[in-house]
Amino acid sequence: MSASTLTPEIPDIAAYLKAQERKSLLRFLTCGSVDDGKSTLIGRLLYDTKLIFEDQLAALEKDSRKHGTTGADIDLALLVDGLEAEREQGITIDVAYRFFATDRRKFIVADTPGHEQYTRNMATGASTAQLAVLLVDARTGIMTQTRRHAFIANLLGVEHCVLAVNKIDLVDFSQARFDEICAAFAALTGHFSFTTAVAIPISARYGDNVSTPSPHLGWYRGPTLLEHLETVPVDKGNTAQPFRMPVQWVNRPDANFRGFAGTITGHRLRTGDRVVVAGSGRQSTVKSIVTYDGILAEAGVGEAVTLTLADEIDISRGDVLASADDPPQYADQLAAHLVWMSEDPLLPGRPYLLKSGGKTVTASVTTLKYKIDINNDYDHLAARSLALNEIGMCNLSLSAPVAFDPYKNNRQTGAFVLIDRLTNATVAAGMVEFGLRRATNIHYQATDINKAARAALNGQKPVVLWFTGLSGSGKSTISNLVEQQLFALGHHTYLLDGDNVRHGLNRDLGFTAADRVQNIRRVGEVAKLFVDAGVIVLVSFISPFQAERRMVRDLLEPDEFIEIFVDTPIALCRERDPKGLYKKADAGLITNFTGIDSPYEPPETPELHLQTAGQSPEQLATRVLHLLRERHLIR
């Protein structure tokens, strides 16, 4: 083809590209219960909008013969279910994103899993969506997972909801069945704050009412699904909100340039605008807005930029730059909703890592206010913990303040995740409701006599000797002998024993995993107070979980915590059974007993490992004293 042949087409291409830029963009997700046809629906939309090339169609026909579930027909779900495991099982596992466009609008759609095990992936897809297509099978109607997904979509700020009553062909295109499901849907959405909520009957497999009206649905007077997606009002985003930019990176290529890189949320930013560093309160003006394409006069929502400021201000990764006229809140205690995503339950008091934007701090749930009853009008139920896929409202205490906005105001600065400190796995998604006022009204009271002065008066270095091991391992016997010897040497000591503490300070706690966490949290705080008083404190607790022992260690200075693993085989503990507890546990008279029906996580790197088999308590106590002398902790 000659150049002259191409030349006339160039203006048309340019006009086409310009038209594409002017189109609005809708981000939506498909969600619902297992096998309701989410992947098939997206495949149908791609097929109907002619975004499948001939080679893709040929490959799809081949894959349909191998993996398809639609007989001789093409299985459109395979366009989205790309993982081999998804094709083998016929379910969606990961979130799959697809782009398509019509003459009226551009779309980014997230195909999210319906299986309860992968609810976390559905939450990921909903976190950036403006609309949720909630599918139900016309034969089964609204299911538990449908209700859960609707709640999560609303909680995560999805503005519009469409109930796609799929497989309407399998109920003979029944208007009565559709009306019945619509009534249940209306009752469901009455709990939520969706801007629009409509129900549309479809057959994703055959294309009925997806992109073109169906001759089988003469009784339906509403739009097709695609028509609704093309015309639903698109929220202009958070452009009306105040400027926010979490700092992801401090850009310092040379001594002459220092910029702060991040992605803008909220209002447009212009050169000369005044900004503030949330937390420090230091203000400056925007000197320049730098991008890969050059220096801009202004930038808007979603743009990745590097800002330079007129003043030298201490700013680090994790800080938030904000509008000086409307800064975010800043607190170390938050009230928030949690969507729990871990097989291991949430345990109030257990330390986790909280990641918000670029900042990571240690956090723990101080109070679990309630959990949501998905199947009973979303009632609030009293709870001690959250299990996989449960949703609850809680208070969190953070090791350091973070900048935030309520999630309903800003989906970026109002969101966070909780991370397990040992496995580094994400265990929860959180949405901030508000900061707790008491966090800004409580301050440390300075005292004139400090820990060093008290320790000098006692003539010793304070330390926590943390004895951990199974019931019957010999912890109490050994720690008692160690205290006797320290006392004889003139040292100031105190022994905290698990059974003794449960008669007073922790008498309100049981032996569930959540109560065990709270038990150790309280004892850890008490041990810290003893150390501050200049005392050598001996703690004898089963303390079965590594996370809580690490939590106590983190409360203290690096050389103030000595973990002593009293390692006794469970067979020997059973043989000793000084309190008859193993016998009761075996008979089912005691539940949640460590080593029987509750786990014990042995220390991985204790300061002292006491293997008790074949050694007397006196010999083992001597080893503890020897370690203290080696570390110059005692005379």
pLDDT of residue 68: 53
| Fold annotation for 9-231 | Rossmann fold (3.40.50)
Tokens of 485: 């010897």
244-323 to CATH, choices 2.10.10.90, 3.30.200.20, 2.40.30.10, 1.10.940.10: 2.40.30.10
- What tokens were used for 591? 């539940």
Q: Would you state the pLDDT for residue 200?
A: 96
Cα 174 to Cα 138, 159, 165, 533, 584, distances in angstroms: 9, 29, 11, 77, 60
Q: Where are the domains of the chain?
A: 9-231, 244-323, 334-441, 453-630
Residue 76 CA to residue 166 CA, distance in Å, equals 14
How many angstroms separate the CA atoms of 295 and 287, rounded?
Answer: 11
Q: Are strands 320-323 and 274-277 parallel, antiparallel or unpaired?
A: antiparallel
- Spatial distance between the Cα atoms of 451 and 344, rounded to a whole number of angstroms: 38
Q: Do 624 and 478 touch, CB atoms closer than 8 A? A: yes
Residue range 551-571: average pLDDT? 93
| pLDDT of amino acid 499 | 87
Distance separating alpha carbons of residues 399 and 576, to the nearest angstrom: 42
- pLDDT for residue 88 is more than 50: no
For residue 528, give the nearest of 466, 475, 588, 472 by alpha carbon: 466
- Confidence band (pLDDT; 50, 70, 90) for 83? very low
Amino acid occupying residue 293: D
For residues 201-221, average pLDDT? 93
pLDDT for the residue numbered 515 = 86
Residue that wins the pLDDT comparison between 442 and 542: 542
Query: Which has more pLDDT, 438 or 33?
Result: 33
Measured distance CA(279)–CA(559) in Å, rounded: 31
For 41-64, what is each residue's pLDDT tens digit?
A: 888 888 787 765 455 555 555 555
Q: Tell me whether domains 244-323 and 334-441 share a fold.
A: yes
Closest CA relative to residue 83, chosen from 117, 107, 111: 111
Looking at residue 51, its pLDDT comes to: 61
What's the mean pLDDT in 201-222? 93
CB 553 within 8 A of CB 625: no
Query: Counting runs of H as helices and runs of E as strands, what totals does the chain give?
Result: 18, 28
Copy the structure tokens of residue 65.
Answer: 């013969």
> What does the pLDDT read at residue 92?
37
**Confidence category of residue 79, pLDDT binned at 50, 70, 90:** low
SS (H, E, C) 373-442: ECCCCCEEECCCCECCCCEEEEEEEEEEEEEECCCCCCCCCCEEEEECCCCCCEEEEEEEEEECCHHHHC
Mean pLDDT of 283-292: 92
> What's the mean per-residue pLDDT of the chain?
86
Taking residues 145-157, report their average pLDDT.
90
Give bridge partners of residue 373 from the DSSP assignment. 379
Average pLDDT over residues 31-46: 83
Amino acid at site 617: P
197: which strand partners? 161
pLDDT for the residue 44: 84
Cβ atoms of 386 and 340 within 8 Å: the answer is: yes
Q: What is the dihedral of CA 281, 287, 293, 299, to 10 degrees?
A: 60
Q: What superfamily does domain 334-441 belong to in CATH?
A: Translation factors (2.40.30.10)
Q: Judge whether 622 and 564 are in contact, CB under 8 Å.
A: no
CATH architecture of 453-630: 3-Layer(aba) Sandwich (3.40)
Q: What is the rounded average pLDDT of the residues 420-427? A: 89
pLDDT confidence bin for 441, thresholds 50/70/90:
low
Does residue 77 surpass a pLDDT of 90?
A: no
Flag whether pLDDT at 352 surpasses 90.
yes
- Decide: residue 629, CB within 10 A, 0-12 exposed, 13-18 middle, 19+ buried: exposed
Determine whether 543 is an active site residue. yes
Percent of the chain with pLDDT over 90: 50
Catalytic residue among 323, 543, 598, 616: 543
